[in-house]
Structure 1
């Protein structure tokens, strides 16, 4: 095998250490170890060539595969038809899969409920049913036209779909660790994510978004980045999911106007004001989510006096000069890499800048988190600065009703800051 181009060299002493390094990073797609040392590959494998046995240039390449892609020795006689979006074969396969579903257990695919089932070859799948008649068709088309045409280690895999009248079904690989929010915000009922795992998840999400924004044939804006829409496989490799609000933007354009809204608390200020959005709307949402990686709680939370604490304001203030580790989830008991915490804080603050032109691209975010680029000290966003100046960065607004507390974090801070600054 002639190895792919653009390997990343890793300094290790043995083949076993090379393999261990590769296994520890779920974003690595392949590795090789030879007389030149250890090399790993991230993302797509380009210019990979099969050589003849007589060719002395051949090398051994180890490639990461999902468990669902590894053939079962007992089922070698059966041929699993790979889902090809838009083909009639997919519809037939999914229809048959639904007939043989053996286990029906409620799980989560993005924000929607799904049932867990099995294909004839025992591959576990998640089947999501779009319930809403009004939005179901739009969401269905959005998902099939975006995630159905691309493949990346940090994007959920759409195996197929079924559309029959008002019935819309989407079939994905099953993610055994559920959604990210269940691990970040419900630590009492599940294992608390350690810092290393959180950092790798943040990096994986950034890589997935960078692929959508910069490497697809057409730019894809997800439009609803939040913990509920990040799924985790068995080894906690993150998968960006739920493309029901996604927008495809041609490379000749940079903005898209959409009447549909994402989730409050993660919406960029320009989106709230009603102007056309760019990929920087996803960057803003990602930054808001990074704060939740740090604290292990929602960005806005109710306090005992009925008011709401808004974490990003405090975090932005501390990042500008203070004890960065004080922002860390107390359940981690300080067990975190201080340099990585500082890096995450800096990236988060840059991502939520009021002016979208001041926010980094997701490609730059990946480079910063990988340690390739340094991150400068970010300014406190204007929408948050007013509360810092007035020493109101801990508590500054109240909820109008208790029912809102069970929903996603409120973005009332944006409207409030505009009113206060004016």
Structure 2
């Protein structure tokens, strides 16, 4: 009996050893599964990866998870890693099956990746979870990518014979597939549908998304740069409502018939190339599908501001010999482009000038629908008056009779890419490039010095005079009665007694809300007009401050500002009477309860514009510049027609119109404060920053800080930064509102405006009047944006940083205004 047991154990051992050997042999020959069922997980282990020498002299590691194909094209799904830098992508690779070899994967090419903008490291994990979600997490557990299929009845993961990675359901129906989320390549049989695009990588060694895209629109197929607006360098019609990579053709292009593995790749330089498995057992370029374009017709052939001449790159050269405006970024790599010696400053627009480059052409001009018919001088004027304009392209309609009165077509550019130099042409476009002059002539300097001296003397006289007037006023007011004081308040404001307001508010029984300086109550005048009464706390002794600000704020009238209609100044009682806003504050409509669901896209867009117009008026159109300091949804009120009005000036500071900055103590609401509060150098741009946050909350339908979210999504600005880097801003649009999802593309465009307002460097934020123009479609927004919205600004605060502009500093503490609107 013992002998039989020993024999049985030995037989089992031999069988297991044989199975292990067969399994190893099958792995070498590529007999991996093409399907996995949930739950399943895979760890990116370098020890189990196959080492492959890349064509760009880099060494890559491939760890297969699924494999498909035993004859002809072979597809692998797995980890694809740069061995030196330990950066890995989860994706799909294409290769060619070679018989009579133990190497199951030869010279593969990556044709799809899930995390191209966010590589993982060794020991990262891919999981096909029980809930149906396919997720990729880094070695430290950080979530990197998800298929977002949680709860969608996923049964498994399959790599098809076409190289399509599919999450399938109980009936083998596709629930998610990689073909619907293309990166930079197309496989045979794959369609590029309407609204989809290919986005080139930054370079052969940098896998992240670059700025060139190839997209299918409603009626066209175009290649363009990701600027704002996009600059198109190739445009064609559609053979079908989609572009399909067929055997022998692609959207009208004739390509070689596929007898071996093929794929199309949109390259970092903007070329669209077909690759095919060759005799050298690797992929080689067969045809460039955009060969009819010249070498200089590609946007980044010579980089930003680069001049392309017969395939050679250089910088724009000035003709007057007085000043150099451009430098090569790298002298040994002229194709990387050029940079401005002095960046264009919106604060010194008087020093802008346009360089006129003749016999040039610009790739985006003829394909653009944004060009307008006008005169050359008007074209120049439009660019000079718009700080976002970096250059203008002008083309005379009548090339034979060109003069100042001849019309042509004008295109304004917010960013300048490669320029083509047509040395043998005399009738092409004229490029007007904006530059910043750094020299100041002697006469101008003398004028500035003289004006500063006279201004200083005048200032001393004014200070002395003001002190005398103030002393006389204090002496006179000490003998005035309260009634005499108030009788000098000009304007149409009504004065109410405390008993009167107590009666109309039913003894302050209907509380609307509570602000920083008191509570707000609903009331009704004898004629039936509803009002909101704010009772201010702790201001019994601030007679001068209270009456001065009633006088100023009461004179402000704008459709997008809550109107102050009266006040009470009686003994210790300080009350303000405002117009009543039927729909209350904005916060409950964008992230509170069921009401949020009913606020459609059109209303949200109008509210954003209304807020911008109200702030623009406070900053630029009042007799005093008024900085609000506390822009947030609770301080935006909605009337019965959902028109938005800015309320609660309780933290505002009146600033003279010729003062550019103010130093004061920190004030406002945490979560809406601009980074420059850390430096205590404050301008009206703190309101622009807060407006950017409110704008983001309106578009996303959530709070800036939401503790109900997972840790990495609690801060809206962090999500904004991450989604912008992933080019997935559409994922942030309010998902709980169907109308917002219908207008998701428009909402994403407005997010770019919000990002402009959220620049951490306050000098790069637009003014509110410029924001209004952008919202009205009159001006294009800035596109060169930094999405790290919360880092402290490094802007200089001294005289050098101001370059001649006066910085206004307040040494003593400022009393906050108490004119707070209802909440």
Which of the five TM-score ranges fits, normalised by the shorter chain? 0.5 to 0.7
After TM superposition, list the pairs within 5 Å mapping 1:12-91 onto structure 2.
86=490, 90-91=494-495
* Residue of 648, 658, 667 corresponding to 1:242: 648
Give the Cα separation in 1 of the matches to 2:552 and 2:742: 36
Give the Cα separation in 2 of the matches to 1:89 and 1:293: 34
Q: What displacement does 1:95 show?
A: 5.6
Give the Cα separation in 1 of the matches to 2:748 and 2:661: 32
In structure 2, the partner of 1:276 is: 681
Larger radius of gyration: 2
* Structure 1 residue 368 corresponds to structure 2 residue 768: no
Aligned-partner SS, 1:159: strand
Aligned-partner SS, 2:531: strand
In structure 2, the partner of 1:252 is: 658
In structure 2, the partner of 1:180 is: 586
In structure 1, the partner of 2:729 is: 324
Give the Cα separation in 2 of the matches to 1:89 and 1:363: 28
Residues 247 and 308 (structure 1 numbering): CA distance in 2 closer, same or farther, change over 3 Å? same
The answer to whether the Cα contact below 8 Å between 1:245 and 1:260 also exists between their aligned partners in 2 is no
In structure 1, the partner of 2:755 is: 349
Aligned-partner SS, 1:107: strand
Give the Cα separation in 2 of the matches to 1:356 and 1:170: 34
Give the Cα separation in 1 of the matches to 2:698 and 2:509: 32
Residues 95 and 361 (structure 1 numbering): CA distance in 2 closer, same or farther, change over 3 Å? farther
Aligned-partner SS, 2:752: helix
Higher helix share: 1
In structure 2, the partner of 1:315 is: 720
The answer to whether the Cα contact below 8 Å between 2:560 and 2:611 also exists between their aligned partners in 1 is yes
What residue ranges of structure 2 are gaps of 5+ in the alignment?
1-487, 793-823
Aligned-partner SS, 1:256: coil
How many residues in Structure 1 have an aligned counterpart in Structure 2?
303
Give the Cα separation in 2 of the matches to 1:105 and 1:337: 39
Give the Cα separation in 2 of the matches to 1:302 and 1:136: 39
In structure 2, the partner of 1:151 is: 557
Q: What displacement does 1:240 show?
A: 0.3
- State the superposition RMSD in angstroms: 3.1
Residues 374 and 128 (structure 1 numbering): CA distance in 2 closer, same or farther, change over 3 Å? same
The answer to whether the Cα contact below 8 Å between 1:318 and 1:324 also exists between their aligned partners in 2 is yes
| 1:364-403 Cα shifts (integer Å, max 9, x gaps) | 11111111111233423445589xxxxxxxxxxxxxxxxx
* Residue of 629, 633, 636 corresponding to 1:230: 636
In structure 1, the partner of 2:390 is: none
* Structure 1 residue 261 corresponds to structure 2 residue 667: yes
The answer to whether the Cα contact below 8 Å between 1:110 and 1:241 also exists between their aligned partners in 2 is no
Higher strand share: 2
After TM superposition, list the pairs within 5 Å mapping 1:119-138 onto structure 2.
119-133=525-539
Aligned-partner SS, 2:568: strand
Q: What displacement does 1:134 show?
A: 8.8
Which one is further off, 138-147 or 162-171? 138-147
* Structure 1 residue 203 corresponds to structure 2 residue 609: yes
The answer to whether the Cα contact below 8 Å between 1:139 and 1:244 also exists between their aligned partners in 2 is no
Which one is further off, 372-381 or 274-283? 372-381
In structure 1, the partner of 2:785 is: 379
Give the Cα separation in 1 of the matches to 2:541 and 2:727: 46
In structure 2, the partner of 1:358 is: 764
Give the Cα separation in 2 of the matches to 1:135 and 1:275: 28
Residues 189 and 88 (structure 1 numbering): CA distance in 2 closer, same or farther, change over 3 Å? closer
The answer to whether the Cα contact below 8 Å between 1:162 and 1:169 also exists between their aligned partners in 2 is yes
Residues 322 and 294 (structure 1 numbering): CA distance in 2 closer, same or farther, change over 3 Å? same
The answer to whether the Cα contact below 8 Å between 1:204 and 1:237 also exists between their aligned partners in 2 is yes
After TM superposition, list the pairs within 5 Å mapping 1:396-411 onto structure 2.
none
Aligned-partner SS, 2:741: coil
Q: What displacement does 1:91 show?
A: 2.0
Q: What displacement does 1:187 show?
A: 2.9
Residues 121 and 298 (structure 1 numbering): CA distance in 2 closer, same or farther, change over 3 Å? same
Q: What displacement does 1:253 show?
A: 0.9
What residue ranges of structure 1 are gaps of 5+ in the alignment?
1-83, 387-422
In structure 2, the partner of 1:99 is: 503
Which one is further off, 250-259 or 285-294? 250-259
Query: What TM-score do the two structures reach when normalised by structure 2?
Result: 0.34
Residues 303 and 191 (structure 1 numbering): CA distance in 2 closer, same or farther, change over 3 Å? closer
The answer to whether the Cα contact below 8 Å between 2:495 and 2:568 also exists between their aligned partners in 1 is yes
| 1:12-68 Cα shifts (integer Å, max 9, x gaps) | xxxxxxxxxxxxxxxxxxxxxxxxxxxxxxxxxxxxxxxxxxxxxxxxxxxxxxxxx
The answer to whether the Cα contact below 8 Å between 2:540 and 2:573 also exists between their aligned partners in 1 is no
Residues 308 and 230 (structure 1 numbering): CA distance in 2 closer, same or farther, change over 3 Å? same
Give the Cα separation in 1 of the matches to 2:746 and 2:578: 33
Residues 348 and 173 (structure 1 numbering): CA distance in 2 closer, same or farther, change over 3 Å? same
Give the Cα separation in 2 of the matches to 1:237 and 1:150: 18
Give the Cα separation in 2 of the matches to 1:227 and 1:89: 27
* Structure 1 residue 169 corresponds to structure 2 residue 575: yes
Residues 378 and 108 (structure 1 numbering): CA distance in 2 closer, same or farther, change over 3 Å? farther
Give the Cα separation in 2 of the matches to 1:338 and 1:197: 14
Give the Cα separation in 2 of the matches to 1:259 and 1:165: 30
Residues 292 and 141 (structure 1 numbering): CA distance in 2 closer, same or farther, change over 3 Å? farther
Give the Cα separation in 1 of the matches to 2:635 and 2:702: 16
The answer to whether the Cα contact below 8 Å between 1:159 and 1:172 also exists between their aligned partners in 2 is yes
Q: What displacement does 1:145 show?
A: 4.8
